[in-house]
Structure 1
Amino acid sequence: MERQAVLYDSQREFHFVICEHVLRWRICPPAIIATQLERLVSLSRIPNLTIGVLPAKRLMPDFPMTCFSMHDDRLVIVETFHSEITTRDPRDVALYMSTFLRLDAAALHGDDMRDLIEGIRDEFFQERNAKGAAMESRSDSARIAGPGRQDARTLRRKRRGQEAG
């Protein structure tokens, strides 16, 4: 959270473009992903921060092969699978700026972006709730049909009590 404090500095501006499929990656439990998506929605309301999401169903103007970050118009940091590349070459910076602007033009922003992220978040919450219900159901079945002697005795007593009543 300390690293995120800079996002609230009104003297700075941030602009992010994220591909929808990245928001759907299951890199941790559904509840954690859903919470992170809620955080993105919250951050999108900060005045000096812009978030765009490239919807999976939209035709891409470029193929985003790597993640990259631009720092003003003087530095680009490209993340590859095994390393990080930095460049200050004006031609490289211009190329990445052009790519960023094309991707950003295809992205959803504002309420449309928030609606998309909230829909994805809700899918993760539903998945978490469905898994939780399935686990409870299995747990109840295990208690009823489990091999424990006490469970079997308790079940027999309950049956006898129902038959007597």
Structure 2
Amino acid sequence: MTELDWPEILLRLGAATLAGSAIGLNRDLQGKPIGLKTLGIVGLSTAAVVLLAVEFAEPGRINDAASRVIQGILTGIGFLGAGVIVHESRGFRVSGLTSAACTFLAACLGIACGAGHWKIVLVALAFAFVLLTVGRRIERWLHRALGGNEDPHRPEAKPHTPPRGSG
């Protein structure tokens, strides 16, 4: 059994809370239905459960019990993400997928923080912010460059206005 000291526990739980909250802040600033508090709690709770499981493992190893805990977390997070999608669905139009994916990411970051894998947390968080910050612009640029159709139902898609004097 591994006994973690207070600074290590504070670091792992604090990092998970901050990572989840940072992703949540992005969602909140975008006006999405999930935000800083929710994803901060997702990161914190997953890290706490993994930390508890890691406490019973051999130093530096994830045992079978910890593996089952992680599997259970990810299954449960799937339901939370589905709730975000269903909440945002309008008719046959599905929305909220990015927020659901962010919920899953916050859980995964919480798991990584609970296990103490800091490099993975930092790289995943950096990639997430690149995608969340410039992903839509890259997507639009690729659609134009490759001749794809932009989704006209997206709120950020510019409405088609006929040229002046044509009717």
| Same topology, TM > 0.5 | no
Which has the larger strand fraction?
1
Larger radius of gyration: 1
TM-score by length of 1: 0.26
Q: Which has the higher helix share?
A: 2
Provide TM-score, normalisation by structure 2.
0.26
